[in-house]
Amino acid sequence: MERLLNDLNEQHSRIRMQLAKLEALPSADDWEKRELEFAKLKDVLLPHLSAEEKILFPHLVSDPSDRWQINYYLEQHALIWKSSSELSERSKQAQNWGAGMRVMDTIIQNHLDSEQEQYPHMLTIIDEKNLEKVYQRFLQEEIRFRKELQNRKTMPW
């Protein structure tokens, strides 16, 4: 379990680092840097969300008390996908882009805090012998999604 948990925490750290870089660009004059750093954020964030939804979460819902928590996470994910999509389309030169980014940052930080608090307990439901398989499939899904993201010229996100 340690490996999966460490990897999830490490990915969360990378997402937070990328959010900090965007928060350091409050001026619309930095729109080119915003474009670049936002693309990097999507590259670490979206494959992570996809792998959690497709691979990890289905393993965690068998505990009835965790089912509520997973539904809550899926609702948060839906908001994050929506924000990502909207901020992708909105001009990085727009005066309200930074405000939108700040809202997305808050949602994501809140979500990651909750996952990091709950995962050590929630992951114990996965059978020891299944863990490695889940971990490998999680990594594969991330790679698959990242490729899809890079190959797409007109991304919905």
* Residues at the site binding Fe ion, with contacts judged by CB under 5 A: 52, 115
Nearest CB to Fe ion, comparing residues 58 and 99: 58
Contact (Cβ atoms closer than 8 angstroms) between residue 62 and residue 125: yes
Other beta carbons within 10 angstroms of residue 102's beta carbon come to 13
> Distance (Å, rounded) from C-alpha 119 to C-alpha 54?
16
Closest approach, Cβ 116 to Fe ion, in A, equals 8
- Nearer to Fe ion by Cβ, of 96 and 120: the residue is 120
DSSP 8-state class, residue 154: S
Q: How far is the CB of 154 from Fe ion (least distance, A)?
A: 25
Could you give the CA distance from residue 157 to residue 149 in angstroms, rounded to a whole number? Answer: 9
Q: How far is the CB of 69 from Fe ion (least distance, A)?
A: 11
Which residue number, 37 or 115, has a Cβ lying nearer to Fe ion? 115
